[in-house]
Amino acid sequence: MWRFAGDDVALARARVEAALGAGITLLDTADIYGPDNGEPFGAAEELLGKVLREAPALRDRMILASKGGIRLGVPYDSSRAYLAQAIDASLARLGCERIELYQIHRPDLLAHPQEVARALDDARQAGKIVAVGVSNHTPAQAKALAAFLPVPLASHQPEFSPLATAPLFDGLLDQAMTERMSVLAWSPLGGGRIAAPQDERARAVAALLDAKAEEAGVDRAAAAYSWIMTHSAGIIPIAGTQNPSRIATLPDAYTPRWTRAQWYAVLEASLGEKLP
């Protein structure tokens, strides 16, 4: 819901209903979503809140995820006092009593993980959040936070796509599998670079995705999502399209089936070299 914006509540509701109708139940937002769209801090949460106030029955059909810990001009604040305030503000904007998955958006290098854990567990015990996750954290940062939490970390949210493959090699996916954490991949289409390749590397990846897409009778985006989902960590790509008709086609990602040779060919094209 990074680009979930505007003041058209009917269109916003159509997007949500298209997702739920397609079997997509995880809606991932954040308090910082707004300024990137030329809107105020909290605007995306506020818009979703308007949808839920208009159609409250939708709330029971979704798993609601949000994030906090970024402050404009600071830039990061995961202090106990600020997180308590941020969680309450998100709940108010959303018009909800709880958030199923609350994630620290980016690590605050000045906050001791014990303080962060205390703030999150305070909210969890108060029933304001259900599960805790991290976004844009290294495996070591996630491990440090987990050491002070009385419940396991539920999720990692890294950038991951056929053009952003660092989690395959930096230990993040290994940690997720070892600790049974879900992995939510942001920018799974490479921030538009897969749809509109601008360099030789991206064009090589796109060509292989197109071959798989043609074989499976789907489009390039579905092939890219399916490549991500093939990994044994059970990665969940966070689709960002705001077009209800495109949202309805997202389940096409379940159609392609990758052989190992095909999957590794995409990775090698992305890396620009053969694997040893």
Q: How far, in Å, CA of 45 to CA of 87, rounded?
A: 12
Is residue 40 within 8 Å of residue 34, measured between CB atoms? yes
Residue bearing tokens 């990665």: 235
Cα–Cα–Cα angle for 41, 44, 50, rounded to 5 degrees: 115
Q: How far is CA 14 from CA 17, 43, 62, in A?
A: 5, 18, 15
Of 28, 85, 77, 17, which Cα lies nearest the Cα of 52?
17
So which residues are the catalytic ones? 33
- The DSSP symbol for 84 reads H
Is residue 186 within 8 Å of residue 217, measured between CB atoms? no
* Token pair in block for residue 198: 């601008």
